[in-house]
Amino acid sequence: MRKPQLLGEILDYLLDKSLASVSFRTIAQALGFSTYTLVYHFGTREQLLSEIVAAVSTRTVAVEQQMMETPDTLGTYFRGFEESWAWTLEPRNRQLQRLEFEASLIEALEPDKHDFSRAIFATWQRIGQRALTSLGMDPDDAALEVRVLVDSFYGIQYDFVLNGDAEPATRAFSEAMRRHRERIEALLPESVSR
């Protein structure tokens, strides 16, 4: 079995389970293959967890790629966040996001063993900061505004994962985007197309 296919099956298996329960033995038994297969592809439990979180967070790669391939505009910048929110609303992705949050808590307890969640967080900040500075925003202002937005975005996602109510979470997301846009427009040079 190839590693991407194996990882896909593992993610499907974990949709209604906790990362804390992940062991080579439980996964191998549940999916019907040997623990050797997991050791061969992932090496250690920590590496398996890293791969799981990376697979959960593939949307960051897609958003970053889209922003690199399209002109730097305010519309492109906000479209990336809107697409990420649309991803979050999918029922399967809500469970994947839950796994990402759980991984973050494991990482907080074992920061020397894991850095997957911090890496994802840094990627979102890098995407946003690069986009805003390319539009002419001061790098320090861009860093702060993106941090506020990413923190808000994660908080709204957490609300949705926890409560499962898409409508109020989407209203909160839309309001956060509206306020963020106002702040961004006030900090951008007048010459930037809005």
Q: Which CATH architecture has domain 3-44?
A: Orthogonal Bundle (1.10)
159 pLDDT above the threshold of 90? yes
pLDDT on residue 119:
83
Q: Which residues of 35-67 are buried (b: 16+ CB within 10 A; e: fewer)?
A: eebbeebbeeeeebbbbbbbebbebbeebbeeb
147: nearest Cα among 170, 131, 124, 130: 124
120 pLDDT above the threshold of 70? yes
115: nearest Cα among 56, 47, 62: 47
194 pLDDT above the threshold of 60? no
3-state secondary structure of 111: coil
* Burial classification of residue 161, based on how many CB atoms lie within 10 Å of its CB (0-12 exposed, 13-18 middle, 19 or more buried): buried
Residue 34 DSSP one-character state: -
User: What is the pTM (predicted TM-score) of this model?
Assistant: 0.82
- CATH number of the domain at 57-187, please? 1.10.357
Residues of the chain with CATH 1.10.357: 57-187
pLDDT on residue 59:
58
**How far, in Å, CA of 147 to CA of 121, rounded?**
9
pLDDT digits (tens, 9 = 90+) for 42-56: 998 888 888 887 787
3-state secondary structure of 1: coil
pLDDT digits (tens, 9 = 90+) for 60-93: 666 566 656 666 788 888 888 898 899 899 998 8
Residues of the chain with CATH 1.10.10: 3-44
